[in-house]
Amino acid sequence: MNREEIIQAIKDIITTIAPDEDLSSLTEGERLRDQIELDSMDFLDIVMELRKRYGVQVPEDDYKELATLEGCANYLLPLMANATANA
């Protein structure tokens, strides 16, 4: 997966978890929680969906890396590339 595909995957997951949120104005560098209504359980659901859909394990110590769309893309790019290569 490339960077844009990862960002779209995260948006798709958020849409599943918080279907009433408008994601059209999300910016990559601002914290997701500052842009849309996500609580800690929603965030855990995002992490669980990443594991379920893509087989990506995110250790709890790395959750902070997923605070923004940019952070998600930067953190997940090498993991998703490996997951795709191993599929």
Model pLDDT for residues 43-83, shown as the tens digit of each residue: 999 999 999 999 999 999 999 999 999 999 999 999 887 65
CB distance 18 to 38 below 8 Å: yes
Radius of gyration from C-alpha coordinates of the chain: 12
Domains and CATH numbers, the chain: 3-19+28-86 (1.10.1200.10)
Residues 17-39: tens digit of each pLDDT: 999 999 999 999 999 999 999 99
Cα separation, 68 vs 80, in Å, equals: 17
